[in-house]
Amino acid sequence: MSKYPIGWYKFEESKKIKKGKLYTINRFGKAFVCFRSSDESVHIYDAYCPHLGAHLGVGGKIEKDKIVCPFHGWKYNTAGECVEIPYCKSIPKRAQLQSYPSVEAARGIYVYFSEDFRKPEESIPAFLQKPDLDFRQLDSLQIDWNKYEKLSEIAVNSKFPIQAKGPGLFISQESNSFKDFQMIISGTPLNDQVLDLTFSCSIDRNLNPFQKMKFKSTAKNQVEKILQHLL
């Protein structure tokens, strides 16, 4: 059985993935490659070429929205299908890169992770894609993987109004003197020992700079309280 629950996790910050470059990213104890295509969408795959297992992120490149394997030059389109093999007319059926569903929202890239490459059974929470909300990262740290259980526990029983929205996503409803807002807590396992934890908050784009500042300071205080409870 998989060590990691199936579902949505934050994969990377949007700003770190630029168009036309191939990135290697390690999560869930394994290597992935990802890139942003010319239509701005982000694509995530297993890092190893199905031909003879070369690591695509070591010397591989993007050419016209296709990943080119550094070893024998097989080319894969955004769906992960091999579409070109140098000096060869037929393409074997098994020449398919394993890909993972992803969504970009709230300044982050989210991946639906399952070890057997399932399709998502649910979407990421709708408010993450609301155009009138902006999202700001407040804190980010790496903690011991065994704290994951505790994060799930505080989501069900404690003084914090936190709801689990997936194995790697927790939402906390907060308020200050102006308005309610949401805090997003994402917990993504890097491997079976390290959990990458990030805190962000939603900010109404229509607020003035002073109100936005008040939001951030209320949210930062709440992050500190949650961390004291968690660590």
* Chosen residue from 69, 97, 203, 219 binding ligand FES by CB under 6 A: 69
* Chosen residue from 9, 45, 74, 181 binding ligand FES by CB under 6 A: 74
Q: Which stretch binds ligand FES (CB under 6 A): 19-27, 69-77, 110-118, 153-161?
A: 69-77
Tokens of 41: 């969408």
> Which residues lie across from 171 on neighbouring strands?
163, 184
Kindly state whether residue 51 participates in binding ligand FES, applying the rule CB under 6 A: yes
Q: Which stretch binds ligand FES (CB under 6 A): 36-44, 70-78, 112-120, 121-129?
A: 70-78
Whether the Cβ atoms of residue 32 and residue 100 lie closer than 8 Å to each other = yes
Give the ranges where the chain is alpha helix by DSSP (H): 147-157, 209-230
Q: Which stretch binds ligand FES (CB under 6 A): 66-74, 184-192, 208-216, 221-229?
A: 66-74
Kindly state whether residue 49 participates in binding ligand FES, applying the rule CB under 6 A: yes
Among 52, 53, 51, 83, residue whose Cα is nearest residue 67: 83
C-beta of 75: minimal distance to ligand FES in Å? Answer: 9
Report which DSSP code applies to 123: P
Provide the phi-psi class of 178: left if phi over 0, else alpha when psi is between -120 and 50, else beta. Answer: alpha
Query: How many residues at the interface with ligand FES, by CB under 6 A?
Result: 8
Q: Which stretch binds ligand FES (CB under 6 A): 16-24, 49-57, 204-212, 213-221?
A: 49-57
Angle between helices 209-230 and 147-157 (to 10 degrees): 120
C-beta of 93: minimal distance to ligand FES in Å? Answer: 16
Query: Sign (positive/negative) of CA torsion 101, 106, 109, 115?
Result: negative
Residues that bind ligand FES (CB under 6 A): 49, 51-52, 54, 69, 71-72, 74
